[in-house]
Amino acid sequence: MNETRPVASTTFPAALNNVVCGFLVFATHWHVPIYIGEAHANLFGTGLAIIMVALATLIAHGQVPRNYWSALNVLLGIWLIVSTGLFVLPPGIGWTQGCLGVLTIAIALTSLGNERNVVVRRD
């Protein structure tokens, strides 16, 4: 009989790190002048979205055999990288946003990889 067990605890640190990454993205919106409204709103919204998706990953952790919430964080990380060219940003914020995008993608891919490798089939 084939049975799968829920995802092991290796996903927990990666998802928790994505919560921290989301908070850092959210915190960078305070360094963008309010008159650059689009960039300010982008960092605010994307940071909150990364935090919410990472928290959903933590909540679903161990409850389901496959947890794909981290795939949304990969997309949000890609958006962070792409949006550096779409908005006018102060000099250091663009680099910070791009680096946090790459870090978010790397952590989310680690989380997805851990979930894929941990599911065990017993015969």
Beta strand ranges found along the chain (DSSP E): 3-4, 121-122
Q: Is residue 123 part of a domain?
A: no
- Per-residue pLDDT of 48-58, as tens digits, reads 999 999 888 88
Distance CA 58, CA 67 (A): 9
**What's the whole-number mean pLDDT along residues 111-120?**
66
Residues in the chain: 123
- For residue 99, what are the domain limits? 3-118
Mean pLDDT of 27-47: 85
More confident position, 122 or 104: 104
- pLDDT at position 11: 55
pLDDT digits (tens, 9 = 90+) for 40-78: 889 999 999 999 998 888 887 666 666 778 889 999 999
| Residue 13 burial (CB count, 10 A) | 13
> Does the pLDDT at position 122 exceed 80?
no
Q: Are 84 and 98 in contact (CB under 8 A)?
A: yes
> Is position 68 within any domain?
yes
Q: Do the domain assignments include residue 19?
A: yes
**Residue 100: inside a domain, yes or no?**
yes
Q: How many domains does the chain have?
A: 1
pLDDT in tens, 68-115: 788 899 999 999 999 988 888 887 888 999 999 999 999 988 888 776
Mean pLDDT score, 10-24 = 81
| Confidence (pLDDT) at 30 | 84
